[in-house]
Amino acid sequence: MKTLKIDWLIWIFLLTPFIFIGIYWNQFPNKIPTHFNFDGIPDDYSDKLQGLLLLPGINLLMYFVFILLPIIDPSRKNYGLFQDKFKIIRIVLHLFLAFAFFLIAFYSLGYHFNMSFLIIYSILLVFLIIGNYLGNVRHNYFIGIRTPWTLSNEEVWKKTHRLAAKVWVISSLLTMAVLPFVPANVAEFIFIGYIALITTIPIVYSYIVFSEIKKGE
């Protein structure tokens, strides 16, 4: 009961999709679009049960995974050092999955819009928000930039996450500013480059910092 009380906002994101499905079940088509190309056109479908319950089910499962992580993590003591940041990260991820569900649900009900554009911008917003808190995430084995070098050295962890936070925020803002002014085929390459950038730079940087520390020793 204590957990439910603390996480009341998250539980709104978790349960609202199931309530929505129950209310509008008979109005949904038998095939639900579950994948869209970069032009926002659906190119893959699932049956109604799977198509509607997949994202809410993943969201619910993810909630219990997040509750379990601080219990099984060998660095569990560090979670208390960024507890508020961890809560914000959880809220953002649960909200994103709930938002993605409602986009698919409303599209299936006949409210057509550029799905890919909205999903991509919501992803950019997720990385932008999490980037603001990434530098405060302390050493652990599940949340953050986990490379062999960050996991083996707390100093590497701190420096990598501080850099990654700046990279995520700046690159997210720049990508959000550019995408509306380029064609869809160009936007696709920009977004792929964005993902490559925010993942590759922290990995390479963590190796460089680790190597410098080892040389100093």
CA distance 38 to 115: 9
Pairing of strands 42-47, 31-36: antiparallel
Neighbours of 88 (CB within 10 A): 16
What predicted TM-score, i.e. pTM, was given to this entire model?
Answer: 0.92
pLDDT tens for the chain, residues 1 to 217: 445 557 999 999 999 999 999 999 999 999 999 988 887 888 889 999 999 999 999 999 999 999 999 999 999 999 999 999 999 999 999 999 999 999 999 999 999 888 888 999 999 999 999 999 999 999 999 999 999 999 999 999 999 999 999 999 999 999 999 999 998 889 989 999 999 999 999 999 999 999 999 887 6
CA distance 64 to 50: 21
Torsion of CA 82, 166, 92, 54, to 10 degrees: -120
Helices within 110-179 (DSSP H only) = 115-134, 148-152, 154-178
